[in-house]
Amino acid sequence: MHEQLKLNNQLCFRIYTLTHLITQAYRPLLDPLGLTYPQYLVMMVLWEDDSQTVGEIGHRLMLDTNTLTPMLQRMEREGLVTRTRGTSDGRQTLVSLTPQGKRLEHKAKDIPSCMAQKWHGDTLAPDQFESMIATIDVLIAGMK
């Protein structure tokens, strides 16, 4: 067998595994809020800057409209967001937080520190964490 084909020699497998473990770590924090991890990402984008088009949200999250639209429809049914057609361009859909969606921000405020504790606990020093973020950003930029 070629060395480069071994699973343990694949950076992508490590990133895939880490992504899976991160999503699992978020689950007990997000379940009480009724959010999945992808929905949490959408909420963070809207908490940062409310009332954005589907395209703007998709760009921020690097998600296609076809992936994002069904999720936004579910979030609308759950009362977290509203979706309205743009006034200047009817092809655009504007996504805005509902009062319920805005209140959820307060309930979610401790999630980043809980996750930071998981990272920084006994695993990573803050400087290692910052270095890892910089390295991952370089990888992401190289893949765009």
- pLDDT per residue as tens, the chain (144 positions): 688 889 888 989 999 999 999 999 999 999 999 999 999 999 999 999 999 999 999 999 999 999 999 999 999 999 999 999 866 666 789 999 999 999 999 999 999 988 888 776 667 777 887 888 899 999 999 988
Beta bridge partners of 96: 82
Distance, CA of 82 to CA of 141 (rounded, Å): 32
Q: What is the DSSP string of 33-70?
A: GT--HHHHHHHHHHHHS-SEEHHHHHHHHT--HHHHHH
pTM: 0.88
- What is the rounded distance in angstroms from the CA atom of residue 64 to the CA atom of residue 30? 23
Residues 82 and 72: their CA atoms lie apart, in Å, by: 9
